[in-house]
Amino acid sequence: MYRAFGRIGNAYQKLGDLGNAIEYYQRSLTEHRTPDVLAKLRAVEKTKIENDKKAYIDPERAEQAREEGNKCFKEADWPGAVKAYTEMVQRAPEDPRGYSNRAAALAKLMSFPEAVKDCDEAIKRDPKFMRAYIRKAQAQLAMRDYNKCLDTLTTAQEADAEGKHGAELESLMRKCMQTMYAAREGETEEQTMERIQKDPEVSFTKSGSFLGNSANFVVKIASIISDPVMQSILQQAKTNPAALNEHMKNPIIRQRIQRLMMAGVIRLG
C-alpha cells in the first residue's frame, strides 16, 4: 500500500497540488519509511513553504499593516504593534521598514536580542537605512554591549555619506561612552584586570590574537599608550572627551580607542 500512496503523491506533485502530495507522501511513510519518499516529502514541503510566502506578498496589504502597526505603537500597544509589523514583514519581506519598525516595538517589550536581529535584517535589505542602525545601537546599549554599540554607530557613520544623521549618531555614541564609563566608576586596577580576563569581547582583537595573561595585556596596552598618535589623542580626550567620536572614524584608531575604553584606561572625568 505504501508504494501506491507514494505514486499518488508523485502524481499530485506533477499536477502542482503540493498539499495533497504532502498528504500522500506522509501516508506512504506511515506504512513504510523509505528514504526516497522521505526526501520527496522534505523537498515538496520546502517548495510549498516558499510558494506560500510568495503568494502572501501584497504591497497594498503590507502598507495597511504598517499603518495598523504605527497606530498600535502610538497607543503603546506593543504586542499589537509587533503583530501588525510581522504581518507587514510577511506581506513585503524586502521592505526594511517592517523589520526596523518591529525592532522598535520589540525593544519596548525588552526583547533586545530579537530587536537587534530585526535591525540586521533591515540593514541587509538597505545598508543605508539609518533608523535601523540607530535602533540596533540603542538595543545593544540597553543590553550593555557597549563595544558592539560603538561598532554599530561607527558603521552607521560610514554609511551616512551625507552626514544627515551625524548629530544623532554622535549623541548616541557619547551616551554609550558615558554609560560605559559610569558602569566602571570606582573600579580598581585589579578589578579591571579581572573583568578583562573574563570578558571574551574584550580579551581578543579582531585579528584574533588572545590576551592570555596579565603580562601580555600590559605589553599590549602599554604599546598603544606609548604610540605618539595615541598619546596626542589621549591628551586631547582629557579636555574634550567628545573629540574621541571624530578620531573613531578611523578604523585603526577606533580599534585602539575601544581597546583602551574596554580596558578602563579612557574614562570620563
Lowest pLDDT segment from 130-139, 174-183, 191-200: 191-200
Tell me the DSSP string of 205-256.
Answer: -TT--B--SHHHHHHHHHHHHTSHHHHHHHHHHHH-TTHHHHHTTSHHHHHH
Cell of residue 73, nine digits: 505603537
**Residue 214: per-residue pLDDT:** 41
Is 4's pLDDT higher than 60?
Answer: yes
Same fold for the pair 2-56 and 59-179: yes
Range 233-259 average pLDDT: 78
Beta bridge pairs of residue 204: 210
Provide the percentage of residues in the chain whose pLDDT is more than 90.
38
Tell me the average pLDDT of the chain. Answer: 82
DSSP 210: B
Domain ranges of the chain: 2-56, 59-179, 195-263
Q: How many CB atoms lie within 10 A of CB 16?
A: 9
Residues 192-238 have pLDDT tens digits of: 666 656 554 444 333 333 333 444 444 456 677 778 888 888 888 77
- The Cα 227–Cα 97 span in angstroms is 44
Range 103-130 average pLDDT: 97
- The Cα 107–Cα 135 span in angstroms is 9
Sign of CA dihedral 179, 180, 181, 186: positive
**Residue 147: per-residue pLDDT:** 79
Largest separation between any pair of C-alpha atoms in the chain: 84
Range 88-96 average pLDDT: 96
Is 249's pLDDT higher than 80?
Answer: no
- The Cα 171–Cα 169 span in angstroms is 5
Is 69's pLDDT higher than 90?
Answer: yes
**Residue 253: per-residue pLDDT:** 83
Closest CA to 206 of 262, 137, 168: 262
- The HSE-up count of residue 189 (CA atoms within 13 Å, CB side) is 3
Cell of residue 52, nine digits: 506560500
Residue pair 254/248 in contact by the 8 Å Cβ criterion = yes
Q: What is the fold, at CATH topology level, of the domain defined by 59-179?
A: 1.25.40
Q: What is the fold, at CATH topology level, of the domain defined by 2-56?
A: 1.25.40
Residues 149-172 have pLDDT tens digits of: 988 998 999 899 888 998 999 899
